[in-house]
Amino acid sequence: MKKILILNGPNLNLLGKREPTVYGNTSFDTFFAELQKKYKNLTLRYYQSNVEGELINKLHEVGFEFDGIVFNAAAYTHTSIAIADAVKAISTPVIEVHISNVYEREPFRHKSFLAANAKGIITGFGLQSYELAIQSFL
């Protein structure tokens, strides 16, 4: 059974409440429960942190064992060289995902430090961005 981790960065614990016009009305817990029902043939794990170092620790923990990581680094996408280095350091492929289309938003969201170290990027499909990334690992 393939092992996939969904990793969410800062402020994504507020999904469903946070800027619903941009990020929607569904909480990640609700969405994750649906994914688990739908992908019973996968070991799906989920971890969220608002702390940069905790995201790096999680990448190190699963990054030589899991088959794929679906990573929404949120604002750290645009700021963190440490996270970009961690993505490069591990052997598990990482797909960068975003709920919103970062390229139709403010220019500071157009830069991703981790993109060059990711297997691919999916941006702008709402929560479906995560599912498209999961499907790419099947």
List active site positions. Answer: 23, 98
- Does 7 bind ligand DQA (CB under 6 A)? Our answer is no
List the 2-8 sheet strands across, edge first. 42-48, 2-8, 68-72, 94-98, 120-123
Query: Where would I find the beta strands (DSSP E) of 27-119?
Result: 42-48, 68-72, 94-98
In this structure, what DSSP letter does residue 1 have?
-
- Does 27 bind ligand DQA (CB under 6 A)? Our answer is no
- Does 26 bind ligand DQA (CB under 6 A)? Our answer is no
- Does 58 bind ligand DQA (CB under 6 A)? Our answer is no
Q: How many CB atoms lie within 10 A of CB 45?
A: 16
Among 14, 33, 51, 75, binds ligand DQA (CB under 6 A): 75
Pick from 33, 34, 31, 80: which is nearest to 59 by CA? 80
Minimal distance, residue 52 CB to ligand DQA, in Å: 13
Piece in contact with ligand DQA (CB under 6 A), picked from 25-33, 37-45, 70-78, 84-92: 70-78
Binding site for ligand DQA (CB under 6 A): 11, 72, 74-75, 77, 98-100, 102, 109
